[in-house]
Each structure stands twice: as C-alpha cells, then as structure tokens.
Chain A
Amino acid sequence: MKPEISPQTPILPSDWQRILGGLQFPAADLGQVLAWVELDLDQNLRFEKSLLLLMEKGLVWTNGKEVMSWPILADNTLVHGDHAGVGHLKLETPHRLENIWYFTLAVNPHVLRLQASFKKMNAAHHVNEEHVINEYDKQICPICLSPKPANTDACPTCDPEDDAPPSTWTLFKLWRFAKPYQNKLLLGFVLTLLSTGATLVPPYLTMPLMDHILIPYEKGQPIDFHLASLYLLALFGAALLAWGLGWWKTYLLALVSERIGADLRNTTFEHLLKLSLEYFGGKRTGDLIARIGAETDRICVFLSLYALDFATDVLMITMTAAILVSIDPLLALVTLAPLPFIVWMIHVVRDKLRFGFEKIDRIWSEVTNILADTIPGIRVVKAFAQEDRELKRFVDSNKHNLQINDRVNRVWGLFSPTVTLLTETGLLVVWGFGIWQVAHRRISVGVLIAFLAYIGRFYIRLDSMSRIVSHTQKAAAGAKRIFDILDHVSSVPEPINPAPLAKVEGRISLKEVGFRYGNRAVTKGINLEIAPGEMVGLVGHSGSGKSTLVNLICRFYDVSAGSIALDGRDIRSIGIADYRKRIGLVLQEPFLFFGTIAENIAYGKPDATREEIIQAARAAHAHEFILRLPLGYDSLVGERGQSLSGGERQRISIARALLINPAILILDEATSSVDTTTEKEIQKALDNLVKGRTTIAIAHRLSTLRKADRLVVLDKGEIVEIGTHDALMDAQGAYYQLYQAQIRQAAELVEGGAIGDTVQENEDVQQEESLQMMAKNLGGGV
C-alpha cells in the first residue's frame, strides 16, 4: 500500500530537481518523494544545503555531489531533538546509530513532517492501519508547514506583510480614520489654498509700488499719495486676510487631526482588548503602551503640523513659480535654475543627520535603560553598596551619548549656515541677472524687487520641506506599528450569532484536547470529564501543562486539536464574554486595580449593591480586615493605593470571584504565595467559594488538594493518572512519587532547621515555604 502522508506534500524546488536529474539517482521517479527537507547544516555544523528525501524505498540524502540511502526497516527509528537552535535527526537501529543530520530550526516543521511520515511508513510494516488525517494538519500553513493560529488564513511565519520595512504608503491606510472628516478636510484644503494665495499678494504689490510710485519719484515726479495709500491698504488687507485664513485653516485642521488621533487610539485599544492572551504573551507591556500612546500622538502631530506645512509649502512653491513665470519667463527660469541643486544639497545633509538622530535616539534609550534597571533594583544596589558602579555605568553611557551628539552637532551646526549660503548665492544670481536685464531695459526695477521678495520666501520653504522626509518616515513607522495591532486577528475568535447561555450546570468535557505553542506541543490527547459540582485537582511538575489546561478551559487560548465543551456545547460556539462570565478565576498573584476595595470586589459585576459586596467579602473572610482599614470599603488599593498583604489581596480577589456567582471556579495556585497562617484563612474563604461549583484547582502543595473529589496527574502535557488521593497512593504511581518527594524534602527541612523568615520574592523560596507547610501538616498527621 502507498502510505498517504499528508494532505499536501510540497513540490521540490526546481534547482534541486535539476540537481537530482543529473545524478545517478536510486529512484528515477521524483514523484515518489513522500516527504523532503532541505537541510541547511552539514555534519560539521557549517552552513551547507543538502536534501533529505523520504521515498517508499527508504531515506535518501544528497548534497548535489554524493548520494546516500538507507532502506526503511521495521526496527529503524528517526529520533528528533534540538539544542541551542540546532536540531538533529538521528536514524537509529536498536543497536546502532546509522546516521545523524543537523539543521537549523528554520526547517524544523519540514523535519517534523518527514519524521511523522517515516513513523507512519514504519507502522505500515507492522499493521495495516487506516490513515487518519491528523488534526494538526488542518492548522498548518501549506507554504512553510509551521503551525498557524486557529481559524485564521494568515500565517505568521511566512506572511510577507511582516517582512516589509515600514513604507510611506502605510500612511495612506490612515484614510480609513480620516474618512468621517472628509468634508472638514476639504474645507481645510480650500482654506490652505486661499491663505497661501493671500500670503503671495504682498510681494506682488511691491511691483507697482516700485514702478508707479518710487521710480517716478526718483525721476522727479511727485509721489501719488492716493495711489500709494491704496497699495498700502491692499497690502494690509492681504496680510489681514492671510492672517485670518491661516488661523482658521490651522485651527480646523488641528481639530480634525486631533480627532483622527483620538479615534485611532480608541480603535487600537478596543482591538487590543479583544486580542487573545497569546498576543499579550509575546509583547512587552512598555512597547504596547508606547504604541498606543506615543505613536498615535506622533501621527497626530505629523498630520496637524508637518503634513499641513508640507501641503502649504508645495502650494506656495507651485504658486510662486507660476507667478514668476507669468511676470517674466526668462528671469523665472534663471531664478529657478539653482533650485534642484539646492534641494539635492539639503537632502544629502538631512540624510546624514537623520542617521545621527536615529543613533542619538538609541543611545538615549540606553541611558533610560540604566535608570529603568537601577531604580526598581535600588534595594539590591544599596544592599551590595554598588552605588558607585551604577553611577559609573550611567556616566559612561552619558559620555557615549555626548560623543555621538558632538558628532551630529558638527554636521548640524553646518546645516543652517549652508542653507543660508545657498540661499544667498541664489539671490546673488537673481540680482546679477536682474541688474543686467534692467540695464538692457528688458524688465522694470519693480519686477526685480518682486522677484527678490518671492525668492526669499521660496528658499525658506525649501528648508522646511526637506524636514518633512524624516518626519514622514517616523510617522510611517508609527503607523505601521499601530496597524500591526489593528491587522492582527484574534486567535480566539468570537462566534457569529452565538446563542446565549441559559442556566449552566457546569459539566466540562475535554475530548482529545491538544495545544501547541509555536512548534512545541504543550498538551496532547487529553480526555477528561468533570461532573457538575465536582472538584478536580490538577497535579504535576512545573511545565507539565497544568496552567495551559486551565488557560484552554478559560478560552484564553483555543485548542489546536480536539474540543472542550460546557454542558455538551463546544465553548467555541458560545459568546466569549457570555462564557467567561460563568467562570470565577482566582490567580496566584491577585491583581487589584487602582480604586476602592468595593470597586475591586465588584469588578466582575459593576452594578452590585453594597449589601452584595459585603456579603461576598464576608464569605471570603475579608470583611473584618476591610473594616479595620481607616476608610473601610472606600480604602484605595492597587498601584499607589493602600498596601495590603498577599493574603488580604487574595481574599479580595476571592470575594471578587464569589460576587459573580460563577458555575465554574478555577483556582490557579491560589494559596501558594502566602504563608501558612494566611493560607488557612484563605482556605476557609475558598471552602465557601467551592461549595456547589465545578472547581478546577492547581496547587503545588499537594496537601491543599485534600478536599478534591479527584486528582488528575499530568506529566509532559499528558494525563498519567486520575483518581482520589487514597486510590492514587495505593496505586504507587506518579502521584505517589510526587507525594513522597514532597514529604521527604519537607522532613529534611525540618531536621535541618531550615525554616526561617518567609520572603515572597522568588519561586525557590515559595517552594521551600510550601515544604514547610508540608512539614507542619506532617506534624498534624496527614
């Protein structure tokens, strides 16, 4: 039989086909290739391309010169592993290593595919099993074979969008946000046109002022005061008009751009909130804050100042050029001739400066990084008396900053004088040619003066125009970063027209649940049925997939394979908010928002009455300590608020979960970051919470799960044991070993007298502490 390998085995790249065609190749028909991978490292870990093919006859390897092949025997295995970014694939018989291939993780998905095909072929030697398309295959990008997020078409690995550097065209995407304001924008454009026109009137008037009033006076005619005052009035009128129009235009466009900026911010934040936890996991908070805050502001400033200035400049220059040509084409030509050269010069210098400024930006972030490093760690710095060293680090990077600044300033200092020099030279040319023209009676003095007046404005504009380049690029980069967020499709999509949830019993069924993060399978083939009102404890080493399972049940991520159902209904068909409202979550690190305690308790149900809040607080054993605070339920907590102990914060978060009266309760290490006495109080609060709800609890301390109806032992993403504490202890399996290990360590600690003060800063300490707890429990007779 021909083993069907995958829905799509990609075709070999043409250059390899050519090479293979020229070789003495074991299998003439390349159509027999079941899977292939282009390895990018050779035996000595040098970058060298070679090809590994899986054919029906066996494995074939070639680097274009040599060909090697191995038949597939029933007891052969392909072992895959990776270390420090380099993967290896070993072909082994039970007794011998046949060969080993190395590759970088760029081709890892292909290698995994080949390995899977190999396994299937091997299995076919033994049993004639029916081929089932692996559920994973449905979620794999057909081009690069890497897994893509569920339910999207775009592949994050080979999406070309991601590869492109920020282009100025990105700015045009902003049109979506400008559209609601198109009428205002149109008006703004007309106003720009008019106000620019108005500013061009005064130089035009210098012409008749010269030719009709001053020159005749020079020649002995009396000044026509009436005409003069008329011209001056017109001058003043034009100035006044330009002022008024300019003000209106700037105000209007600033207004619009601020609104566009605000819309952009709102939309981005709205979209961000809807994205899955997966997205937040891969991003730094500071980066996201900067994108929504600073980048939108930068775009806003760009639109209201630079884009506007640029438009004015372009208008001004075209209009001036048109006027100049209409007055005297020849003189206009001479005037405009040095223009391209000046533009080019300015551009070159600006370019140089831009890199300098970029560099300064980077150095500047290094300086701030030192601050961000040192200030939060100030206790450590002081404790180890390393103030001088931190100071030296700071001084050094400041020195670096100075050096680069000095270098840039040298060019920068040269810049303005150069522009001035070029401008003066341009003026000189106009003066010279103008005088020559006047001398030959081709133009009047007035025309020359008007030209000079225009040209002055002209060159000033050129400088500001050249500035636009870098600002446009910055704004484009900002726009790209914002659209990165906006274009990101949530990997936890909202179902279309979900039917609302009626009363929830709380039966949770997991069927063949698998989840992968990137290339790594975190959990696989999990089957679990949780009855309404049952309490299930999840147990296992760290990294065994406990938290992943909880995240999947909360639908913070979507499963890669299989399904999770609530009361028999797939959770992907339930509205996300509707579903999550049925879940109460108590985390290891309770998060309190800035606000009063009452607000924090009512976070999940903002319209809760005061009685409800107090009731929840009482049930969570939080009522008494809250009343002891000077402001009771009105005490401010969270960042900058009243400081509460870990246990107190935890009880507030328990009250928060109690208030929404959820059908399902999830306790993710709810008691592991507090000391033993506090834990007892929290445990009491939790007992109230658990009553009558489906509960899933994760705990490092096995003793805290004594109330659980069933314990589920996880290892490497798979369920290894399920049962009650007693049953599992009797079975003497994985749970028994975990339990014994904890008891042993706890006993050692007691003997060694290692019980000291509790510091809740790192995990090790927490672990130690949990062992102390164990030890105490032992004393009480577990």
Chain B
Amino acid sequence: MTNLSHRLERDDLGRLVLIDHVGTRHVGVYPVRAFPITAIEAGIGLMDSSGKELCWFPSVTLIPRDELQLIEAELATREFMPVIEKIVKVSTFATPSIWDIETNRGPTRIRLKGEEDIRRISGNTLLISDANGLQFLIKDSTALDKGSKKLLDRFR
C-alpha cells in the first residue's frame, strides 16, 4: 500500500477524516497497530470505517509530525491493555478467583475465570483475560515483585 499525498484531520464530531489524493473524504478512519504487543513502533495502518486499509506506515518514525499527533491521540482512546505491575491480593487459589491488581492505569479488581485465561505470548510475556473480556498484560513475569510472583505462580 503506497501513501499517496493525503491529509488527515479531525472533524467536529471528533472523528478522524482522511482526504486522499483524489480528494475523497473518508470519515471515521481509525489507526491500528500491526504488532501491539511485540513491536509497538512497527507498522501502523489507517483503516476506513468498513475495515479497508487506506494508508500504511511501516514505522511510527515515517508518519508526518502533525498526523502523528492525531493518530496517537486516537490510538490512546482505542488501545486499552493495562500492564499489571503488582498483584496485591487474590481471593482464592482456585478459579474463578477475584484479583486485586495494580496496573499502569490505576488499581482495579478483575475476575479470572479459569487458569486457561492466562496465556503466554512470547518468552515471559503473559496476557490475562478477565471475565469481561478485558486484556491485561504482564510484560515480564520474572520482573514482578516477589509477592506477585508467588501469587501468579499458583495459577500457572
């Protein structure tokens, strides 16, 4: 996908609008990362509201500065994968279990339905899905503090 000259702007309704090289306005475009976990900086695509790719940047560094701002603001509202920094308490070692955790987006409480909801992505990176379908990330399970590691160990 080549990036012909285009313009990106935000309309009054807060939607991103892409005006492509022939002047068509694509309302409600949204950016997506290709590797949201393993390589955040590599590969960002702009899709139209029906999911068709309009524009592709192989790397964040290749995005023009003014567009990058819009894209990052939009991504901030779309990307939600809190990183677990500490497991404070678990209600029980058998599932379902209620966890009190601290994340980079503040403390919260999640419900773990089963041990199979803790999945290893690569190396020591773990992805935990809670009962509501939210996904939490543990970037490096070996880098957690001792207490959290001990609690986590009981589930995997």
Interface residues of A (CB under 8 A from B): 40, 44-48, 83-86, 88, 90, 92, 95-97, 100, 102, 104-106, 162-163, 165-166, 355, 358-359, 362, 477
Contacts and interface: CB of A to CB of B under 8 A. Distances in A.
B106 A85 contact: no
A165 B108 CA distance: 21
Contact of B105 (A47, A96, A97): A47
Contacts of A88: 77
B134 interface: yes
B80 interface: yes
B78 A477 contact: no
Contacts of B111: 163
Nearest to B10: A97
A92 B13 contact: yes
B66 interface: no
B79 interface: yes
B13 A97 contact: yes
Contact of B133 (A40, A92, A105, A165): A105
Select the residue from A47, A95, A97 with max chain B CB neighbours within 10 A. A47
Given A44-B105, A97-B12, A163-B96, 19 more contacts: A40-B108, A45-B80, A47-B105, A48-B106, A83-B78, A84-B78, A84-B80, A84-B135, A85-B80, A85-B134, A86-B80, A90-B14, A92-B13, A95-B12, A104-B132, A106-B132, A162-B96, A163-B111, A165-B91
B77 A165 contact: no
Nearest to A162: B96
B134 A45 contact: no
A669 to B, nearest CB: 24
Contacts of B153: 359
A73 B78 CA distance: 28
Interface string B126-156: 0000001111000000000000000001101
Contacts of B106: 46-48
Interface in B66-119: 76-82, 91-98, 103, 105-108, 111, 115
Contacts of A362: 115, 156
A44 B76 CA distance: 8
Closest 6 CB pairs of A and B: A165-B94, A97-B14, A47-B106, A47-B108, A165-B92, A85-B134
A96 B12 contact: yes
A83 B28 CA distance: 14
B14 A45 contact: no
B77 to A, nearest CB: 7
24 contacts: A40-B108, A44-B105, A45-B80, A46-B105, A47-B103, A84-B135, A85-B80, A85-B133, A85-B134, A86-B78, A86-B80, A97-B14, A100-B14, A100-B77, A102-B77, A105-B133, A162-B96, A163-B98, A165-B92, A165-B95, A166-B94, A355-B154, A359-B153, A362-B115
Contacts of B98: 163
A100 B97 CA distance: 32
A44 B82 CA distance: 12
Nearest to A107: B132
A156 to B, nearest CB: 11
A355 B79 CA distance: 36
Contacts of A44: 76, 105
Nearest to B104: A46
Contact of A45 (B105, B115, B133): B105
A84 B12 contact: no
A105 B134 CA distance: 8
A293 to B, nearest CB: 19
A46 B81 CA distance: 11
Contacts of A358: 154
A40 B132 CA distance: 13
Contacts of A48: 106
Contacts of A163: 96, 98, 111
Nearest to A83: B78
A427 to B, nearest CB: 37
Contacts of B135: 84-85
Contacts of B103: 47
Contacts of B95: 165
B30 to A, nearest CB: 9
Select the residue from B82, B91, B108 with max chain A CB neighbours within 10 A. B108
Nearest to A82: B133
A104 B134 contact: yes
Contacts of B108: 40, 47
Interface in B18-42: none
Select the residue from B13, B76, B92 with max chain A CB neighbours within 10 A. B13
A45 B77 contact: yes
A349 B97 CA distance: 25
A80 B101 CA distance: 28
A111 to B, nearest CB: 13
B92 to A, nearest CB: 4
Given A46-B105, A46-B106, A47-B103, A95 B13 contact: yes
B132 to A, nearest CB: 5
A165 B14 contact: no
Contacts of B133: 85, 105
A131 B119 CA distance: 48
A421 B95 CA distance: 37
A355 B111 CA distance: 22
Contacts of B78: 83-84, 86
A85 B78 CA distance: 10
Contacts of A90: 14
Select the residue from A90, A163, A362 with max chain B CB neighbours within 10 A. A163
A166 B95 CA distance: 8
Contacts of B12: 95-97
A96 B12 CA distance: 5
A86 B66 CA distance: 27
A40 B78 CA distance: 16
Given A165-B94, A165-B96, A96 B13 contact: yes
Given A45-B80, A102-B77, A162-B96, A85 B132 contact: yes
A90 B77 CA distance: 13
Contact of B94 (A96, A106, A477): A477
A100 B10 CA distance: 15
A355 B133 CA distance: 28
Contacts of A92: 13
A211 B52 CA distance: 98
Contacts of B82: 47
Contact of A84 (B79, B91, B96): B79
A5 to B, nearest CB: 25
A48 B81 CA distance: 15
A44 B75 CA distance: 11
B118 to A, nearest CB: 10
Contacts of A359: 153
Nearest to B13: A97
Contacts of A85: 80, 132-135
A92 B80 CA distance: 23
B57 to A, nearest CB: 20
